[in-house]
Amino acid sequence: MRSNYSRTLLLVLSATLSVGCTPKVVRESAPSIKKSIGSLDAPDAQVLPIIRSEPVAADPQRAADNYRKLLELAPDEETRAEAQRRLADLQVQMEDARGNTVESEATLQESIKLYNQLLYAHPDDPENDRIFYQMARAQQNMGDTEAAIDTLKRMTDRHPNSKLAGDAHFRRAELLFALLRYAEAETEYKIVMDFGDATQFFDAAQYKYGWSQYKQSKYEEAIATFFDVLERELPAGEAFDVETALGGVAKEKTDLVRDSLRVITLSLATLGGGPALNGYLAEHGDPRFYPMIYAALGESLMDKTRYSDAAKTYAAFIERYPKSQHAPAFQSRVIAVYEDGGFRDLVIQEKERYATTYDPAASYWGGQPATPEVMTALRTHIEDLAKHHHALAQQNPSANTAEFLVAARWYQRIIDLYPQDPKLAEINFLLADALLDGGKTLEAAQQYDKTAYTYPQFARAGDAAYASVLAYQKHAKAVSAEERPAALREAIDASIKLADTFDQHPQKYPVLTQASEDLFELKDYTAAVTVAGRVLEAPVPVDAKLRRVAWSVVGDSHFAESQFAAAEKAYSEELKLTPQQTKDYADVVEQLAASIYKQGEVARDAGDLQNAAFHFLRVGEITPTSKIRATAQYDGAAALLALENWSEATRVLEEFRKLFPGHELEADVDKKLAVAYQKDGKPAQSAQAYARIARRASESADTRREAGWLSATLYEEAGAKVETAQAYEYYVTNFPRPLDRAIDARAKLVEYARTTGDRTQLTRWMQELVRADETAGAERSQRSKSLAAQSSLDLGRMAAADARAIPLTLPIENSLPRKKQAMEQAISWLGKAAGYGFAESTTAATYELGSVYADFGKSLMKSQRPANLDALELEQYELLLEEQAYPFEEQAIEAHEANLKRIAGGTYDDWIAKSAEALAAMAPARYGKLEQGEDRYDSLH
Over residues 520-541, the pLDDT tens digits come to 999 999 999 999 999 999 999 9
Q: Residue 772's closest CA among 747, 752, 797, 799? A: 747
Residue with the bigger pLDDT between 23 and 157: it is 157
Tell which wins on pLDDT, 808 or 470. Answer: 470
- 348-406 tens-digit pLDDT: 999 999 999 999 999 999 999 999 999 999 999 999 999 999 999 999 888 888 999 99
pLDDT at 39 over 50: no
As separate numbers, helices (DSSP H) first and strands (DSSP E) second, the chain gives 43, 0
Residue 138's pLDDT is what?
87
User: Comparing 804 with 188, which gets the higher pLDDT?
Assistant: 188
Q: Are residues 187 and 306 in the same domain?
A: no
Judge whether 745 and 731 are in contact, CB under 8 Å.
yes
Region 177-205 average pLDDT: 93
Residues 57 and 33 grouped into a single domain: yes
More confident residue, 71 or 742: 742
Residue 765: the pLDDT is 92
Instruction: Answer with the one of 192, 216, 240 that is the final residue of a domain.
Output: 216
- The mean per-residue pLDDT over the stretch 553-577 comes to 95
Give the per-residue SS3 of 521-559. Answer: HCCCHHHHHHHHHHHHCCCCCCCHHHHHHHHHHHHHHHH
The verdict on residue 109 lying in a domain is: yes
For the segment 72-81, what is each residue's pLDDT rounded down to a tens digit? 666 666 676 6
Q: Are residues 242 and 189 in the same domain?
A: no
At residue 836, the pLDDT reads 86
| Separation in Å, CA 170 to CA 30, 165, 471, 813 | 10, 8, 83, 145
- If asked whether residues 237 and 271 sit together in one domain, one would say yes
Question: Same domain, yes or no, for 287 and 206?
Answer: no
Q: What is the pLDDT of residue 939?
A: 45
Structural domain count, the chain: 2
- Same domain? 147 vs 280: no
Q: How confident is the model at residue 71 (pLDDT cuts 50, 70, 90)?
A: low
CATH assignment of the domain containing 62 = 1.25.40.10
pLDDT band for position 65 (cuts 50, 70, 90): low
Quick check: is 63 in a domain? Answer: yes
**Do 75 and 199 belong to one domain?**
yes
Whole-number pLDDT of residue 69: 63
**Residues 75, 88: Cα–Cα separation, whole Å:** 17
Q: How far is CA 217 from CA 173, 213, 222, 445, in A?
A: 18, 6, 8, 66
Q: Examine the domain organization and report whether 232 and 176 are in the same domain.
A: no
Q: Can you tell me the distance from the alpha carbon of 244 to that of 233, in angstroms, rounded to the nearest whole number?
A: 14
Mean pLDDT score, 210-220 = 95
> What pLDDT is attached to residue 802?
79
d(CA 778, CA 373): 110
pLDDT value of residue 42: 54
- Domain membership of residue 939 (yes or no) is no
Same domain assignment for residues 279 and 335: yes
Domain boundary among 314, 342, 370: 342
Name the band, by pLDDT with cuts 50, 70 and 90, for residue 640. Answer: very high
Let me know: does 412 contact 428? Beta carbons within 8 Å. Answer: no
User: In the prediction, which pLDDT does 313 show?
Assistant: 95
How far is it, in rounded angstroms, from Cα 623 to Cα 631? 13
CB of 78 closer than 8 Å to CB of 3: no
Q: List pLDDT tens digits, range 699-722.
A: 888 898 998 899 889 998 888 888
Residue where one domain finishes, among candidates 312, 342, 372: 342
> Do the Cβ atoms of 673 and 689 come closer than 8 Å?
yes
The confidence score (pLDDT) of residue 95 equals 62
Angle at which helix 739-756 crosses helix 782-804, to 10 degrees, equals 30
Residue 106 counted as domain residue: yes
Question: For residue range 501-510, what is the model confidence (pLDDT) as tens digits?
Answer: 999 999 999 9
For residue range 831-846, list pLDDT tens digits in order.
Answer: 888 888 888 888 888 8
* Statement: residue 7 has pLDDT above 50: no
Q: Identify whether 446 is part of a domain.
A: no
Inside any domain, residue 834: no
Confidence (pLDDT) at 103: 64
What's residue 25's pLDDT?
34
What domain range is 295 assigned to? 218-342
* Over residues 587-613, mean pLDDT: 95
Lowest-confidence region among 147-161, 470-484, 906-920: 906-920
Q: What is the mean pLDDT of residues 146-169?
A: 92
Return the pLDDT at 774: 86
- Indicate the pLDDT class of residue 880, thresholds 50, 70 and 90: confident
Q: Please indicate, yes or no, if residue 880 is contained in any of the structural domains.
A: no
Q: Are 856 and 888 in contact (CB under 8 A)?
A: yes
pLDDT at residue 784, rounded to an integer: 84
> Closest Cα to residue 270, out of 318, 234, 295, 306?
306
pLDDT at 495 (0 to 100)? 97
Judge if 76 and 124 occupy the same domain. Answer: yes
Residue 312 falls inside a structural domain: yes
Judgement on whether residues 201 and 236 belong to the same structural domain of the protein: no
Report for 348-352, 681-685, 754-758: range of highest mean pLDDT: 348-352
For all residues of the chain together, what is the average pLDDT? 86
Same domain for 62 and 171?
A: yes
Mean pLDDT, range 189-211, rounded to an integer: 93
Write the DSSP symbol of residue 236: S
